[in-house]
Amino acid sequence: MIVKTGKEEILTYLEDASNFREGSAERLYIPDDEGDLISILTDCAKNNIPVTISSGGTGTVGGRVPREGVILSMERFNRIINIDKNEKTSTLQAGVVIKDFLDLIEKEGLFYPPFPTERTAFIGGNVATNASGEYSFRFGPTRRYVKKIRMILTNGDTLEIKRGCLYEKNGVIDYGMFKVPLPSYRTPPVKCSAGYFSQEGMDGIDLIIGSEGTLGVITEVKVSLIDALPPRFIVIVFLRDEEGIPFIVKEIKKMCGDALFSLEFFDSGSLEFLKNDFPAIPENTCAIYVESVSNTEEMERWLDIAERYNAVDTWLAEDRKNYEKLIDFRHRLPENINAYFKKIGIVKVAMDIAVGEDSFPEMYGFYRDMMKKEKIHSILFGHIGENHLHFNLFPASDEEKIRAKEIYEICVRKAISLGGTVAAEHGIGKIKHKWLEIMYGREGLKEMAGIKKIFDPYCILGLDNIFPKALLK
Amino acid sequence: MNIVVCIKQVPDTFEVKIDPETKRIVREGVESIINPYDNYAIEEAVRLKERFGGTVTAISMGPPQAEKALRDAIAMGVDDGVLLCDMKFAGSDTLATSYILSCGIKKIGNFDVIVCGRETLDGSTGQVGPEIAHHLNIPYVTYVSKIKNISSGVMECVRLMEDHYEELKVHLPVLITVVKEINQPRIPSLKGMLKAKKAQINIWKSDNIEGEISSYGQDGSPTRVVDVWTEHMKKEGRKVEGETDKLVEELATELKKLGVL
């Protein structure tokens, strides 16, 4: 085990990909094995020292950033224990880096469907945040692929949960060593990564997935895999009709839903952020970006779509070089936006709202009206196939900053009224408590705190993630 | 305006493998791509067509699978593809290659501008372009970084030199070789890609062009390759672990030993 106390040595662990800058810790532990882990946790429990779990640091809501206490880095839990080609599963330690895992299973002709965009993330972090990925339109987020979790609780006990073994019954999930009541709120049936999962008859493992490091320390997971993906192409269709997008997307889903791996949207303002890198982007257009199974029939279908909706231009990547160029097109936008937020020196105002299929046109129209009505520079882009767009605002003055927060709340309330979520993929962490409270009410947050106390009676783990620690008193 | 663009299919790798017996490039097992510099040539040819009208024909000499490179060029906006493909062409050096290409271009006929990339990824001689111009007895400009205008049969262009630019005027027909500063090659459109998939590529054998057979292939190649080898870079690494203070000391000592510090 490595222990570090020097300020500079800990520094990089005090941040993640968010702009959350309140990190502070007295010590960093890098345990080698579960034995180390148990002794750290029991010691901290005895001395009432807060513990924050640290994974790859790619999160965007400050989940791994501690306000106090010690950091527990899982980087040495980096062993891929096995890959079962027949069963198409893999068991691996929580600190395995996604890229290493993807590379290894690729050699075996297998694929990990959650396919997180941040390849330096850890698998444990993926499970703890129910991470989404590049193909979540087709495959959904991490949850579906987690078959087993092994975790250490703050009292030093080990909890192993297999999918399909314990279910909620009569309002209770019985984990053997304790019983947990099902919260009264329900996780909406949309792409959602907001607070503890709650559904009637739910599998006990689903409470752990997406619990953001507040219930126990995940040390090992077993995930299901699929066969390597078939060849794919990417097509970007540049369109003028920004208002008609929800209708066009609906038609696209109807026509080629089964062939699609991702279905993304960039409004005209988003494309402006990409013009330095891709000067050929046509003026005054928005874009639909898809990745599809590659064959001539699908290509012809897309030409048909492009012609039907008067596309200004189309870009098609079939070979490796152009494919990489267009993957870069997709990844570059969030990077350029983050760089811009940094340049103008403001904290990100970026929404992560998703709603159901039927409500999406209304939500989209709501964003569009807001963009026309308000003076603040804003853009709209993201995972339109999952009814999940990121509405970003760039306030230029103090007044606009205040207004941007108000707009955020107005959008959150609209989404909730439509049965949506405030956090579709980024989670809650330390920066979205307010929105989660609007979604589930104070009572909902208290119920989550109650569940946490059952798993972690010492109340030391992942404090201030999901809900304020004050609720634990 | 009739434009011809010369392209070559090359192995998609920086680490070119050489057959120790024949001293030629091993193409088996390596994905083939359009020579990266030729993408700029294709893009510029298509842009010339868009600016001044006309047609673009891509021409290549190579094995049957080089047809793929011509289809990729059509996907980017080229109108037609010609592949010069015959066992008699095999083993051509730059002189024979440029001769065969010039025979192909003569057959295409009626050309105003011929565009080539500055050099290939595998051979890197930069000779084929100028040699084609020689065979066709037309002027050529190498390392073109901008075509400012073409009017009344004269091209105004800028040429990238080591530490300066040259501005030139040259009469058509002309051959130019282009550098990557000239443009950003486009990503194919759906329409272009579908057109490319269905396009008929013209395959011309030695019988289809008018040239001296003795100038084709090995017979027409005065170049003799004495030896070719791949330089092996030696990489070494050592992982050191432990407490930070000790590690810093150890690293410093090691770096001093290696003469880095």
Residue A75 has pLDDT above 80, yes or no: yes
| pLDDT at position A466 | 98
A69 lies in the same domain as A86: no
Q: In this complex, do A296 and B184 lie within 8 Å of one another by their Cβ atoms? A: no
DSSP output for A315-332: EEE-SHHHHHHHHHHHHH
**Could you tell me if A242 and A348 lie in one domain?**
yes
CA-nearest residue of chain A to B197?
A296
Q: What is the ipTM of this complex?
A: 0.79
Select from A186, A204, A227 the last residue of a domain.
Answer: A227
pLDDT at A80: 98
**What pLDDT, on the 0 to 100 scale, is given for residue B42?**
98
Asked if A133 and A260 sit in the same domain, the reply is: no
- Segment B177-202 mean pLDDT: 95
- pLDDT band of B229, cuts 50, 70, 90: confident
Q: Could you tell me if A240 and A278 lie in one domain?
A: yes
Give A298-340 pLDDT, tens digit per residue: 999 999 999 999 999 999 999 888 999 999 999 999 889 988 8
Domain of residue B116, residue span = 2-220
Reported as a pLDDT band with limits 50, 70 and 90, residue A368 is very high
Is any Cβ of chain B less than 8 angstroms from the Cβ of A6? yes
pLDDT at A87: 97
Q: Evaluate if residue B16 carries a pLDDT over 70.
A: no
Position A193 pLDDT exceeds 80: yes
First vs last C-alpha separation in chain B: 61
**How much of chain A exceeds pLDDT 90, in percent?**
93
The pLDDT value recorded for residue A41 is: 98
The mean pLDDT value for A230-254 works out to 96
**For residue A449, is it within any domain?**
no
Please name the residue of chain A whose CA is at the shortest distance from the CA of residue B242.
A2
Average confidence (pLDDT) over A233-254: 96
Chain B CB contacts of A320 under 8 Å are 12, 31
- Domain with B167 in it: what CATH number? 3.40.50.620
CATH number of the domain to which A113 belongs: 3.30.465.10
Structural domain contains residue A95:
yes
- Rounded Cα–Cα distance for residues A319 and A326 (Å): 11
What's chain A's average pLDDT?
A: 96
| Same domain assignment for residues A223 and A358 | no
Omega before residue A334 within 30° of 0, cis: no
Which pLDDT tens digit goes with each residue over A103-134?
999 999 999 999 999 999 999 999 999 999 99
Last residue of a domain, one of A417, A437, A467: A417
What is the predicted pLDDT for the residue at B29?
72
* Predicted confidence (pLDDT) per residue in A379-389, tens digit: 999 999 999 99
Q: Is B171 part of the contact surface with chain A (CB cutoff 8 Å)? A: no
* Nearest neighbour of B194 by CB, restricted to A9, A279, A303: A303
B residues 31-50 near A, CB within 8 Å? 31, 33
Q: Which of A73, A95, A128 is the last residue of a domain?
A: A73
Q: Looking at the domain assignment, is residue A250 inside a domain?
A: yes
Distance from the A348 Cα atom to the nearest Cα atom in chain B, whole angstroms = 32
Q: How much is the pLDDT for B261?
A: 81
pLDDT of residue A342 exceeding 70: yes
Judgement on whether residues A386 and A361 belong to the same structural domain of the protein: yes
Domains in chain A, number: 3
Residues A85 and A59 in one domain: no
**Residue B179 pLDDT level (bands cut at 50, 70, 90):** very high
Query: In whole angstroms, how far apart are CA A71 and each of A10, A40, A157?
Result: 9, 10, 20
For range B119-127, the mean pLDDT:
87
Looking at the complex, does the CB of residue B172 fall below 8 Å from at least one CB of chain A? Answer: no
Nearest-Cα distance to chain B for A303, in Å, is 6
If asked whether residues A95 and A212 sit together in one domain, one would say yes
Model pLDDT, residue B14: 63
User: Is-contact A50 A463, C-beta < 8 A?
Assistant: yes
Q: What is the mean pLDDT of chain B?
A: 92
Predicted pLDDT of residue B237: 81
Domain for residue B87, yes or no?
A: yes
Q: What is the rounded CA–CA span in Å between residue A434 and residue A219?
A: 30
Domain that holds residue A50: 2-73
Burial class (CB in 10 A: 0-12, 13-18, 19+), A234: buried
For the record, the structure tokens of A442 come out as 């104070």
CA angle B90, B93, B95 (to 5 degrees): 120
Q: What is the CATH number of the domain that holds A21?
A: 3.30.43.10
CB contact under 8 A, B197 and A315: no
* A56 and A117 share one domain: no
**Interval A86-100 mean pLDDT:** 98
Kind and range of the H or E run holding A84: strand A80-84
Q: In this complex, which of B184, B187, B197 lies closest to A315 when CB atoms are compared?
A: B187
Q: Is A318 on the interface with B (CB under 8 A)?
A: yes
Q: How far is Cα of residue A463 from the mean position of the Cα atoms in its chain?
A: 19
pLDDT tens by residue, B18-71: 777 777 777 677 788 999 999 999 999 999 999 999 999 999 999 999 999 999
Residue B103 placed within a domain: yes
Q: Note whether A319 contacts B72, CB cutoff 8 Å.
A: yes
List CB contacts (< 8 A) between B244 and chain A.
Answer: 4, 6, 9
Considering the domain architecture, whether residues A62 and A201 belong to the same structural domain is answered as no
* Chain B residues lying within 8 Å of A326, measured CB to CB: 187
The pLDDT value recorded for residue A19 is 78
pLDDT at A167 over 70: yes
Return the pLDDT at B123.
80
Q: What is the pLDDT of residue A187?
A: 98
pLDDT digits 0-9 by tens, A389-443 = 999 999 989 999 999 999 999 999 999 999 999 999 999 999 999 999 999 999 9
The verdict on A206 and A242 lying in the same domain is: no
What residue spans of A4-135 are helical by DSSP H?
Answer: 7-11, 34-47, 98-107, 123-129
On the question of pLDDT at B15 being above 70, the answer is no
What is d(CA A18, CA A57) in angstroms, rounded to the nearest whole number?
A: 9
pLDDT surpassing 90 at residue B133: yes
Q: How many residues does chain B have?
A: 261
For A240, phi then psi, to 5°, come to -90, -35
Over residues B181-193, the mean pLDDT reads 95
Angle at A33 between CA A32 and CA A39, to 5 degrees: 100
Residue B228 inside a domain? The answer is no
